[in-house]
A and B are shown apart, each in its own frame.
Chain A
Amino acid sequence: MTVVVAIGTRKGLWLARSEDRVSWQVDGPHHAMQEVYAVAFDARAGLRLMAGVSSPHFGPGVSISDDLGATWEESSTPPIAFPVDDAALERVWQLQPAPASQPGVVWAGTQPSALFRSSDGGRSFEFVEGLWNHPHRPEWEAGFGGQAVHTIVPDPVDPDRMLVAMSTGGVYRTADGGKSWEARNKGIKAYFFPDPWPEFGQCVHKVAQHPASPSRFYAQNHHGVYRSDDGGDTWQSIAEGLPTDFGFAMVVHPHDPDTIFTFPIEADGRRFPPEGKCRVYRSQDAGATWQALGEGLPDDFWTAVMRDALCTDDADVPGVYFGSRSGEVYASPDEGETWHRVAAHLPDVMSVRAVVIPT
C-alpha cells in the first residue's frame, strides 16, 4: 500500500510518500512561496490533486495535478472570480470534492466568505449567489485569520443539502442546492458577545461528518467542542474529558462515525498545546469520553495545529496525520496509537490531506 500526504504550507506544498506509513520520502516545494491553505485529493475519477494557492504578490488561484505533482495545470483565466463589484478573491480556504454520485462537482470556500461550485473537477467555478446574498452577511466578522468560508460539508446523499461554516459567522445550512441558507448555531456559545447565544456570529473552526451518519455533525469551536445529532438544528457540548475546549481541527474516522480526532490548544490567549505537550485526542464514543494519544509525539511543542492540518487516510486501518505551525508533520499508521515524524523544518503547515493510492 502506498500513501501520499499533501502538506500545504505558507510557502508552498510538499508531498510525502510511504509504503508503510512509518518511513517517508518528502519532495517539494511545489508552488514555492505560495500559500497553500486548501489541498484536496479527488479519487472519484483517477486521482486528482487540487491546491488552493495564493501568491502574496500575484494573487490566488487553484492548481491541479493529475500525476501527483509531477506536472501542474492552472487555468489562464482566474478559476474563481467574484462577479460582484465589492469583492475580489483573496484566498481559497477549502476545496471539497462532492460525493462520488456527483462526478466533477467540487466546492470551494473562499475569503471573503463565499461559496463556489465547479462542475469540471476544479478547473472553473461558479459563484453561489444564495449565500453571498444572505441578509446576515454584512454582520459576519473577520476573525484573526480573515473572513472566510473554511468548511464545506456536502450531504453524502442529497446534492441539494450542504453545511458550511465560517469564523466568526457560524454554521449555515442549505436544503435547496444553495439558493437559501439558514443559520444553525443553537447551543453553540459565542462567549465573546454580550449575548453569548446569538442566532449567528459563532466562531466555528471546523465541522466534520461521517457519510454513514448524515444527520450527525461534530464541531471544534473557538472555545467549545460540540456534536449535533439532528442535522445541525441543535448542538450539545462534548468538551468534557478534554484538557481544553479550544482548538481548530475536527476529523471523523473514515469507517466509524463514533470516532473523532481533535488537537486541543490551551486557550484563545495561549495558543499552545496544554503544558506544551503535543497530543492528539480521540473519542471512540462520539465525544462522551476522550483519550490522549501521544506515543512518539514530543513534549515542549510550543506551536499549534490549524483547522485543516489534521486528517486521516481511508485505509482499512486508517492513518492519522497532522502538521504544525512549526513545520513539523506527524503520521500514525494505527488510528493514532503510535506516531512517526514525516517532516520537520517546513514553513507553517496550513493544510494536510492523505490518500491511499489506488492499485
Chain B
Amino acid sequence: MKVKVLIPGVLRAATDGAAHLDVEVPDPATLGAALDVLADTYPQLDRRLRDERAALRRYVNFYVNGEECRRLAGPATPLPSGAEIQILPSVAGG
C-alpha cells in the first residue's frame, strides 16, 4: 500500500530536498516496514531516524495520522492505506 511520509526541513538534505515522500509498503504495513523501505533509498535519512538496531531515536517523533507512534505500538504501529507519517524532532536540548 502507499503511504505518505512528511520530512522536516532539518532532514531534507538527506532526501535530496524532498519535503514528502510517497512510499510503497509491503504487507503487513507498519511504521517500521515503511522506514525499512525508506532506508533502502535514503540510508542517510535512516541513520538519523533509527540506530543500528533499527530502534527509533529517542528525540525524533513519528506521528501516524496525527498520533505519536509511542502512544500506539511504536515501530509495530499498523499503517492504514493512505496513512500519513509525519516526522518531527522533539522539543529537547538547551
Contacts and interface: CB of A to CB of B under 8 A. Distances in A.
A88 B47 CA distance: 12
A81 interface: yes
B51 interface: yes
Contacts of A76: 43-44, 47
Interface in A75-100: 76-78, 81-83, 85, 88-89
A81 B89 contact: no
Contacts of B57: 57-59
Interface string A300-331: 00000000000000000000000000000000
B43 A57 contact: no
B53 interface: yes
A58 B11 contact: yes
B93 A77 contact: no
Contact of B48 (A55, A82, A88, A89): A55
A83 B93 CA distance: 29
Nearest to B14: A76
Contacts, number: 44
A81 B50 CA distance: 12
Nearest to B53: A88
Contacts of A88: 51-53, 55
Interface of A is mostly: loop
A58 B48 contact: yes
Contact of B51 (A55, A59, A74, A77): A59
Contacts of A89: 51-52
A247 interface: no
Nearest to A82: B52
A52 interface: no
Most buried by A among B43, B47, B48, B92: B47
A57 B52 contact: no
B37 interface: no
A128 B48 CA distance: 24
Interface string B22-46: 0000000000000000000001100
A76 B44 CA distance: 4
Given A56-B93, A82-B52, A77 B59 contact: no
A85 B47 contact: no
Given A85-B53, A88-B53, A58 B60 contact: yes
Most buried by B among A61, A74, A77: A77
A78 B90 CA distance: 22
A74 to B, nearest CB: 8
Given A57-B89, A59-B47, A77-B47, 9 more contacts: A57-B60, A58-B48, A58-B49, A58-B57, A76-B44, A78-B52, A82-B52, A88-B52, A88-B55
When A and B form their complex, which 4 residue pairs have the shortest distance between CB atoms, in order from nearest?
A58-B48, A81-B52, A88-B51, A76-B44
